[in-house]
Amino acid sequence: MRFYIHTMGCQMNEYDSVKMAGLLEQAGHEQVATPEDADATIINTCHIREKSEHKVASLVGTFAELKRRRPDYVVGITGCVAQGVGKELLAKSPVLDFAIGSTELAKVPAVVEGLRAHTLAKVLADDVDRDPQTGKRNREALHYPFIAPDILPQRSTVSAFITVIKGCDKMCTFCVVPYTRGMEVSRATDEILAEGRAHIAHGARELVLLGQNVNGFRASKTEKPDFAGLLYKVGALEGLKRLRYTTSHPRHFDEPLARAFAEIPALCPYLHLPVQSGSDAVLDAMNRSYTAGDYKTKIDLARRFAPNLAVSTDLIVGFPGETDADFAATMRLVEEVGFESAFVFKYSPRPGTPAALLESQVPEGVKAERMTALLKLCDDLQWTTVRRYEGQSVEVLVEGPARDHASRWFGRTPDNRPVIFEGAANGGAGTGATPDTVDLTGMLVDVTIVKATPHALTGAVVAGGAPVLARAA
Ligand code: SF4
């Protein structure tokens, strides 16, 4: 059976898709690049944006013609939308064959096989372990197992994701994650290290540790969060050149984590720490459990240990009750911290979340104005920061040939900036080496930046420079 996976949403979903592909491949099936070439399509959905279920429903609808021509074709959804409204979508859509929530991805191969063999009809897999009296889901049921560390993508990548914690206990009033992904559950340290070693053996040089609240990681249920302890262990893996993590909650960002930037050579000087708002009143209404002052203190602490730290963040404008003064506080905080980049979102109510019930919703026009002003400020800050790269030499981990530039390479700086550059292994700038002649994939090279924009840096290998790391076999 050939399968195609369409992934929506965040890096956690990308990771889950890789794991699902691994499970299906282990069961003898083949991943293909287009739905037309497949016998089954799985849409791994995300619930974080507005109208996500409508988007999923209309995407599923586009398979009607394919299913008409090939009645055995299987179409299914997994992930957060499947978890939240899978039952309703299954009832409404004649095209959809299954909906499997985020907690039960391990069931995908058996379900797809059963549907193909007509031993199963429409399948909804989100209802394990419900209390027979109340019909409510047993919270423990959300403590689903992580898929085994030996399932890796068949193609090795220079940079690999590893999920170390799933779910979220923080109950921010605007967010659906605690309802769709369940409560926080950390993965066993041994499993994480085993998966890290396996990725490195497959050619990875960078590991990115993932979690909705990655720094809430605990070595065991009874211990306090100790994500720094995990970083030291992963950072010591042989062959690892770079280590990153995302996404962190300010509540768990502490001195050991700040110190780790100075003490773990592989740990990149990059921190994504969502602040969401600069107003204490809004932060309180969001149930974020810190003030703007607390946040700035944590950034100062991080910069004490890593003076060149790049900090990025998430911001929401127009949260219910946000006044002009609250918004001005956000603008102030953004300037004071000097974020390298920011993801700005306009608040939109998510059904079932406490903030959606608040009466003080901000009018759309006001939200749009605030969004424009904040985006402009973030843009101006980004331009100021990136310009300093021009003329500088930066270390780049090469991920492969640049996609749209046949004679150039693509990689990232330690602070996660994409770089497109020309280069040769032993020559230097302008020697005409191409991806066909010298393979730099997986190597660390020094690149002189010629042009810097917020989207990418462009440059050439430092004249006379040589890669500092041989690629793994
Ligand atoms: S910390 Fe808040 S915003 Fe982040 S996943 Fe948890 S509930 Fe959602």
CA neighbor of 299 nearest in space, from 266, 347, 334, 328:
334
**Smallest CA separation from ligand 1 atom 4, residue:** 212
Do residues 136 and 100 make contact, with C-beta atoms less than 8 angstroms apart? Answer: no
Do residues 211 and 163 make contact, with C-beta atoms less than 8 angstroms apart? Answer: yes
CA neighbor of 16 nearest in space, from 175, 180, 140, 134:
180
C-alpha of residue 467 to centroid of ligand 1, in Å: 40
Q: Please identify, by atom number, the ligand 1 atom nearest to the C-alpha of residue 288.
A: 2
Residues with CB under 6 A from ligand 1: 168, 170-172, 175, 177-178, 212-213, 249
C-alpha of residue 391 to centroid of ligand 1, in Å: 39
- The span from the CA of 149 to the CA of 370, in Å, is 44
Q: Which distant-in-sequence residues (6+ apart) come within 8 Å of 160 by Cβ? A: 152, 199, 202, 204, 206, 207, 208
**In this structure, what token pair is assigned to residue 305?**
């240990």
**In this structure, what token pair is assigned to residue 140?**
């423990």
Which amino acid type is present at position 320?
A: P
**In this structure, what are the phi and psi dihedrals at residue 181, rounded to the nearest 5 degrees?**
-105, -5
> pLDDT tens digits for the chain (473 residues)?
999 999 987 777 888 888 888 888 888 899 999 999 999 999 998 876 666 778 888 899 999 999 899 989 999 999 888 877 888 889 889 999 999 887 778 788 889 999 998 888 888 876 444 555 555 555 444 444 566 656 654 444 799 889 899 888 899 999 988 887 778 889 999 999 999 999 999 889 999 999 989 999 999 888 888 999 999 999 999 999 999 999 899 999 999 999 999 999 999 999 999 999 999 999 999 999 999 999 999 999 999 999 999 999 999 999 999 999 999 999 999 999 999 999 999 998 887 899 999 999 999 999 999 999 999 999 999 999 899 999 999 999 998 888 877 678 999 999 999 999 987 543 444 444 444 467 888 999 999 999 999 888 999 888 655 555 434 33
C-alpha of residue 395 to centroid of ligand 1, in Å: 33
C-alpha of residue 178 to centroid of ligand 1, in Å: 7
Predicted pLDDT at 329: 98
Predicted pLDDT at 428: 41
- The span from the CA of 339 to the CA of 317, in Å, is 16
C-alpha of residue 12 to centroid of ligand 1, in Å: 13
Give the containing element (helix H, strand E) for 202.
Answer: none
Predicted pLDDT at 337: 97
Q: Please identify, by atom number, the ligand 1 atom nearest to the C-alpha of residue 171.
A: 7
Within 10 angstroms of residue 331's Cβ, the number of other Cβ atoms is: 17
DSSP letters, 77-132, are EEEHHHHHHHHHHHHH-SS--EEE-GGGGGGHHHHHHHHHTTS--SEEE--TTB-T
Residue 388 vs residues 37, 302, 384, 412, 448: alpha-carbon distances, Å: 47, 21, 7, 16, 12
Strand ranges (E), 350-463: 393-401, 409-412, 418-422, 444-452, 457-461
Most informative mutation of 142, 166, 168 for ligand 1 (most atoms within 8 A of CB): 168
Q: Please identify, by atom number, the ligand 1 atom nearest to the C-alpha of residue 176.
A: 8
Residue 62 vs residues 35, 71, 85, 100, 339: alpha-carbon distances, Å: 11, 15, 19, 20, 40
Q: Please identify, by atom number, the ligand 1 atom nearest to the C-alpha of residue 168.
A: 6
Predicted pLDDT at 351: 79
Strand ranges (E), 231-339: 242-246, 270-272, 310-317
Q: What is the DSSP pairing of strand 98-100 with strand 123-125?
A: parallel
Q: Please identify, by atom number, the ligand 1 atom nearest to the C-alpha of residue 213.
A: 1
- The span from the CA of 266 to the CA of 246, in Å, is 15
Do residues 26 and 261 make contact, with C-beta atoms less than 8 angstroms apart? Answer: no
Predicted pLDDT at 119: 86
**In this structure, what token pair is assigned to residue 176?**
């659906």
Do residues 104 and 144 make contact, with C-beta atoms less than 8 angstroms apart? Answer: yes
- The span from the CA of 467 to the CA of 167, in Å, is 40
C-alpha of residue 212 to centroid of ligand 1, in Å: 7
Number of H helices, E strands in the chain: 13, 19
Predicted pLDDT at 190: 93
**In this structure, what token pair is assigned to residue 354?**
């406490």
Do residues 330 and 283 make contact, with C-beta atoms less than 8 angstroms apart? Answer: no
**Smallest CA separation from ligand 1 atom 2, residue:** 172
Cα-based angle 29, 33, 35 (whole degrees, multiple of 5): 85
C-alpha of residue 54 to centroid of ligand 1, in Å: 23
